[in-house]
Structure 1
């Protein structure tokens, strides 16, 4: 028998297996460090792209739900699938989305990112998402897209906005929690994929579920609410539609608790929970379920 050690086995060139949860945790932490250390301008511009991208998903969703011939469930599920376009652009194309970046909390918990760096990223990306969303609002309004389907697209935007402003702050907070629980799970699952098809297939169901269930996403609301508000200020509201709630105060009434709920759901129920399971409980180098 030869004493010569056998050469180390090389990994396969093509691997169709999904990354394990432990590997996903390590990848998200590394990406979190990169995100937190992006230069200000790059972070802001990528956030602008993400805000517009989520707005495009919201636009696509509105086309579906404006069809009065669809049943409630069909419209919600199909609308949710259409809305997934936004996160597909963000994850595959590369952009900075506030709700997904709540997972930076994992790198923060490991001590790889400071509190200041994490909060800086969140603030810059949040306002970048807002700029991108409002920019898309202007383009959509000027394109007269809202006039499609006999004006039902515009009516659907107004109805969606009014329904988002109506609940009390506590309800909106928990709708935000449940939304970003699903969005960050979509991001987590997408990191398991090795191809574009894998990533898209993994994120579609969690994203469409939060839309179908009527939960609240602060960046999507940065599109719906300003667009509806713009319609009220330009006389684009049907005379029989009550748009009294669609005001700046109504917009803040929605965005503040929804944003806080998104943070709690994404950073708390996904990021912190997975960090405790795969880092705190089993150790940094653990490869459980690999």
Structure 2
């Protein structure tokens, strides 16, 4: 049957199959490349947060312009993860789709999320240390550093319920960006698919756990009155919210629509063939 769409992109049903197969590859990655790719992802998202903070530290910009331009700048992080290749906890919440389909086990999913989350923290906090040592925060008469502290203090003081729901909304948009990037056939396709959802979540002030793993440690290095308890008070509910947003509201919803429902359609979305996993397979 001929395709009815005329766009040179994968259809939503084809995206579901590609995401499921790619999640199987991710779940089978050996420990060392998984951890190293996780460190890279944490650093990449940290670079996106660095660019966001650089833009928003400019007091001459209006509120709306600052948030929108900062969101575009933050998109650098997910572009690096997707195009260069890395393992990001928030994006890997899509593994719930392959888990629901029985392609990967609960143990494999928890192993991936656990290793990647710890590695993301190492990469993000490590970048924060390098940025602190570089003197970057002294730019614009120290306004860049002061902006980091203000932002981190606001995050540390967020009520737990707000942090959770901002995390949910954030990762709906992040996972939609990853999902739509799978529709692309070129780097430019992927970049366009990523920029708008990421700009949206950043401009709206939603919470991304990995970005916070960069911003909060950097503020602590700059002398902000933030302790380990404050760090955990933000990261735990935000990560829980990210998990719900990505795994439930994106991965499981699309599983029901395109994979579970597709079981009744002959020839649709057969289980992916088993194949060897290369250490270079990534986000």
Check whether the contact 1:16–1:194 (CA below 8 A) recurs between aligned residues.
no
TM-score by length of 2: 0.91
Cα distance in 2, alignment partners of residues 213 and 156 from structure 1: 17
* Number of equivalenced pairs: 263
Shift of 1:135: 1.1
1:50 corresponds to which of 37, 41, 44: 41
Matched with 1:286 is 268
Check whether the contact 1:57–1:86 (CA below 8 A) recurs between aligned residues.
yes
TM-score by length of 1: 0.89
1:258 corresponds to which of 210, 228, 238: 238
- Runs in 1 of length 4+ with deviation above 4 angstroms? none
Cα distance in 1, alignment partners of residues 20 and 186 from structure 2: 20
Matched with 1:175 is 166
Matched with 1:191 is 182
2:19 corresponds to which of 17, 22, 28: 28
Say whether residues 1:131 and 2:122 are aligned partners. Answer: yes
Shift of 1:71: 0.2
Matched with 1:5 is none
Cα distance in 1, alignment partners of residues 209 and 55 from structure 2: 21
Matched with 1:98 is 89
Matched with 2:209 is 218
Q: Secondary structure at the match of 2:222?
A: helix
Q: Secondary structure at the match of 2:102?
A: coil
Cα distance in 2, alignment partners of residues 88 and 108 from structure 1: 26
5+ residue gaps, structure 1, are 1-8, 10-14, 233-242
Say whether residues 1:117 and 2:108 are aligned partners. Answer: yes
Residues 275-284 or 255-264, more deviating: 275-284
Cα distance in 1, alignment partners of residues 184 and 68 from structure 2: 23
Cα distance in 1, alignment partners of residues 251 and 83 from structure 2: 21
Matched with 2:32 is 41
Alignment of 1:63-74 (within 5 A): 63-74=54-65
Shift of 1:16: 6.1
1:59-109 CA distances to partner (integer Å, 9 max, x unpaired)? Answer: 111110000000000000000000000000000001000000000111111
5+ residue gaps, structure 2, are 270-283
Cα distance in 2, alignment partners of residues 16 and 135 from structure 1: 42
Cα distance in 2, alignment partners of residues 177 and 218 from structure 1: 11
Q: Aligned-pair RMSD on alpha carbons?
A: 1.4
Cα distance in 1, alignment partners of residues 240 and 25 from structure 2: 24
Larger-gyration structure (1/2): 1
Q: Secondary structure at the match of 1:153?
A: helix
Cα distance in 2, alignment partners of residues 263 and 227 from structure 1: 24
